Every structure is written in structure tokens, then in C-alpha cells.
A and B are shown apart, each in its own frame.
Chain A
């Protein structure tokens, strides 16, 4: 019985935050939207954030795990080619399906 209580106590450690909180709201500047295969976890998103964060052209990225999409916000007067974006994502271990270049998308 003691063992059972211990195990139940471990399960009780699961955060009550079963409903996730999202800090991302409002308007997202999305210069490039990339559909990516293999984005199944937070670590995948973090890996892409680290890789793109090293590029001077990139102001920031937003990863939508549900949509399998990476939104890239470029700095003013900066650009990245489809080939550069594809190489970065492929080298990080994921596959690019499609690259879209919308103007400004409001969420």
C-alpha cells in the first residue's frame, strides 16, 4: 500500500496546468512562413529557434507545433532565400515542405 501511495504521489506531481497558457497573442509579423515536417515537440521548436537566432537577418521566429509551421520575422531590409531557409531547417534535422512569403499576417 505504501508503494501505491508513493506512485500516486508521483502522478500527483503532474502540473495542474493541463490547459496550456499561451503568451503569443496579438499581431505577428510573419515575413516567411515555412511548413515543416517532424515538428512534434518543444525541443524541435527550441532547436529551430537556436539555429535561426544565430542569423543576423532574423528578428525572431514563432513555431506553431499544431500547424507544423515556422513563422520567421526578418529584420528591416533583410532577406533570406528559400535555399538558405531550407538549408538551416534541414541541417537542424527537419524537412521543409513549403515556403510561403505573406506580407503581414494578423492573428
Chain B
């Protein structure tokens, strides 16, 4: 019965749901703060976009398993944008280098990944991956995809709402595949995402664009 209810909720989320745009590159001269939380990780990423083509910033992340703290410098590049009259698609490259700490051990860190999205004002879909290497402390390849639907179409300045379903695949974890229904609400410079994974628990993200 529990699984039936879970599937029903997921189906509801897919039917109703919506997109997201936590874009890693802002407008020229724009600052962005991105704070992400789920059962596995917490992260804080602050970046500055000199142009609409790339951003540079500082990143801190905490990985609960293992108990690792990572500080890094990250660069995000907009490789390609496709603008259409009623839709937009993007391809990004996100890479960084830094240092990982775990119980007195220190290792250099390098990571990279591609992110792509397509959206119009009603539907959204995205995919991104991340190859992460921190020597003996931590290493993984993660994949994440989202689909979403806007239950209503808002105009500029309105409160915008998206219902989304996020799928995560991590070859390095016991739970290799998981689904998280979530709600994204944004108004003005603030964006909030809240979701609940049936296996892993809560997800909460916050983005502010200056």
C-alpha cells in the first residue's frame, strides 16, 4: 500500500508539476547566492557573472557520507543557449578545484559536469551530471534530472510556482536511484524549493539573485 501511495504521489507530481531555473550564470554584473540542502549534502555557492556567458565563485559543501568538508573555486560556462519565441534551452559546463577535509585528512579536489535544460512557460526539463574526485576522501559520479509543470502562468513580478519531480542516480551510494517531488516558488530575486524524498527525507534549496 505504501508503494501504491508513493507512486500515486509521484504521478500527481508529474501531472501537475513544473520547471526550475537555478541557473549557474546570471546577467552581466549579477551576483547569485545558492544554498542547497538534502539528506546527503549541504552546500553554499556564491558566484559573480562578469558576462552572461560565465560566472566564477566560491563554493563550500558538506558531504555527510563520508564526513567531508569541501571548499572550492567554481567556474560555470554557458556553452550554448537556444532562444526561441516561446522557449529557451541551455547547455552549461560547471567545473571547480579545491580542497577536501575529512577527520584530519586533506586531499585536493576537482570536479566537473554538464547541465542542460529546456523550458517554456508551462513545462520544464533538465539534466545534469557531476564527476567529483577528492582522492581517498570521496569520489563519485552523480546524475540528476528534473521534469516540471507550472500549474498557472504568471507574468513578470508575480509569484511563480512550479511542481517538479527530481530523479537522482549515484553509482557510489547504496541507494543508487531516488525520486523527489518538490515545489519551486519564486518571486522577484528569491527562489525557494522544498521537496520530500520517500527514502531520504527533506530537500530545501534557496537562491537569491542580487
Show the binding face of A for B, using Cβ within 8 Å: 1, 3-4, 6-8, 10-11, 13-15, 17-24, 37-38, 40-48, 50-51, 54, 62-66, 68, 91-95, 97
Closest chain B CB from A63 CB (angstroms): 5
- In contact, A10 and B194 (Cβ under 8 angstroms): yes
Show the binding face of B for A, using Cβ within 8 Å: 2, 5-6, 9, 12-13, 16, 21, 23, 26-30, 51-52, 78, 81, 83-88, 119-121, 151-161, 163, 181-183, 185-189, 194-196, 198, 209
Closest chain B CB from A87 CB (angstroms): 11
Cβ-Cβ contact count across A and B, 8 Å cutoff: 130
Task: List the A residue with the shortest CB-CB distance to B122.
Answer: A40
Which chain A residues lie closer than 8 Å to B151 at the CB level? 14, 18
- In contact, A41 and B161 (Cβ under 8 angstroms): no
Could you list some 19 contacts between A and B, CB below 8 A? A10-B194, A10-B195, A14-B161, A15-B185, A17-B158, A18-B151, A21-B158, A22-B158, A24-B157, A38-B83, A38-B88, A40-B86, A41-B121, A42-B158, A42-B187, A47-B30, A47-B52, A50-B30, A94-B83
- In contact, B154 and A20 (Cβ under 8 angstroms): yes
Q: A10-B195, A20-B158, A65-B155 are in contact. Are A93 and B52 (CB under 8 A)?
A: yes
Extra inter-chain contacts (20) besides given A4-B6, A50-B27, CB under 8 Å: A3-B6, A7-B196, A8-B9, A10-B182, A11-B181, A15-B161, A22-B158, A24-B157, A37-B85, A40-B87, A41-B119, A46-B188, A63-B156, A64-B156, A66-B155, A68-B85, A91-B28, A92-B27, A93-B78, A95-B83
A92 to B182, CA, bound (A): 29
